[in-house]
């Protein structure tokens, strides 16, 4: 089992989720420059997310469809949930 590649892919996955958030925020703004920046961020993060999930699936001998359905759909909205939970719990 290649631990180094698993670690890197998992970290790249988490990192790309933040890029996704950034892109979503930027697209919501009116300015053209931010719009372009946001779309670039969204497409990059989408590419990195899918690639990292596929690599992890390869190393763990799982079907990437299964992993895509479970992990990807579960993890992508996590930052929003996290912020909401922190905000709610601590006032």
Footprint on this chain of another protein (rule: CB under 8 A) = 7-8, 11-12, 14-16, 18-19, 22, 41, 44-45, 47-48, 51-52, 82, 86-87, 90-91
Q: Smallest distance, Å, CB 74 to another protein?
A: 19
Torsions phi, psi for 57 (to 5 deg): -60, -40
Q: Smallest distance, Å, CB 90 to another protein?
A: 3
Burial state string for 13-45 with b = 16 or more CB within 10 A and e = fewer than 16? beebbebbbebeebeeeeeeeeeebbeebbeeb
Q: Smallest distance, Å, CB 62 to another protein?
A: 19
Instruction: Answer yes or no: are the C-beta atoms of 26 and 37 closer than 8 Å.
Output: yes
């Amino acid at each position: 089992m290649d631990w180094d590649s698993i670690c890197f892919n998992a970290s790249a996955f988490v990192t790309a989720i933040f890029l996704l958030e950034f892109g979503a925020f930027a697209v919501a703004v009116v300015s053209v420059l931010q719009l372009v920046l946001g779309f670039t961020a969204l497409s990059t993060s989408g590419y990195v997310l899918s690639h990292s999930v596929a690599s992890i699936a390869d190393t763990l001998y799982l079907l990437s469809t299964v992993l895509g359905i479970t992990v990807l759909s579960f993890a992508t909205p996590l930052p929003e949930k996290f912020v909401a939970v922190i905000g709610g719990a601590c006032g």
